[in-house]
Amino acid sequence: MQPHNSDPTPTSAANVRVQIDTLVKISANLVHLLERETALLLDMKTQDVGELQAQKAELSRLYALSVRQLRENPAALKSALPIVQSEIEAALMRVHEVAVRNQRAIQSARKVNEGVMKAIAEVWNADRSAAAGYTRKGMKPQANTKKPGFSYAPVAYDERC
C-alpha cells in the first residue's frame, strides 16, 4: 500500500491558484517598474533609467516563467479558469498596455539622442577654417575644400547623459 500524499500536485487547483496569484503580483511589479521607466524617459532623465534595467530584466524573466508554468498545466488551468479568468486577462492586458507605452518612450528617447548625436557630428564637421587669425606664414586660412556631405568624426557618447 502506497502512502497518501496530501500535498497539492502540480495539476491541483490550489497550485494553479498560487501560480495565478504569483503571475498577478509579478505583473503588478513589472507594470509599476515600466511606468516608472516610461516617466523617466518622458522627463528626459535617461541617466536614471539604467538603474532600473537589472530589476526590469529579472521581472521580465519571472513574468515569462510564470506564464510558461501556467501553460504547462492546461487541465488544472482550465478548471480554475472560470474563477480567475478576469484576473489573468486584466494582468496580461495591463502589462501589454504599459509595455507598448514604454516601447514608444524608448523609441522617442532614441530619436532625441540620435538627433543630438547628429547635431554634434554636423557641428564637428562644419567648415572650421573660417576661424579668425592667420597661419604661421601670415596668410589667412584656406577654406575647407572637403566635398559636402556627412563625414565621420570620433565622438564619445555617455548614455547617462
* pLDDT tens digits, 108-160: 888 887 887 888 777 777 655 445 555 666 665 555 555 455 455 555 555 55
Gap between the Cα atoms of 118 and 141, Å rounded: 27
Tell me the average pLDDT across 26-46. 88
Measured CA to CA in angstroms, residue 140 lies from 31, 64, 124, 131, 149 at distances of 62, 66, 21, 9, 25
Is 13-125 assigned to CATH 1.20.58? yes
* Lowest-confidence region among 4-18, 43-57, 69-83, 138-152: 138-152
Confidence at residue 159, expressed as pLDDT on a 0 to 100 scale: 56
59-107 per-position pLDDT tens digit: 999 999 988 888 887 777 777 777 677 777 788 888 889 888 888 888 8
Residues 161, 121 contacting (CB under 8 angstroms): no
Domain ranges of the chain: 13-125
Choose from 13-22, 25-34, 83-92 the range with maximum mean pLDDT.
25-34
Global pTM reads 0.57
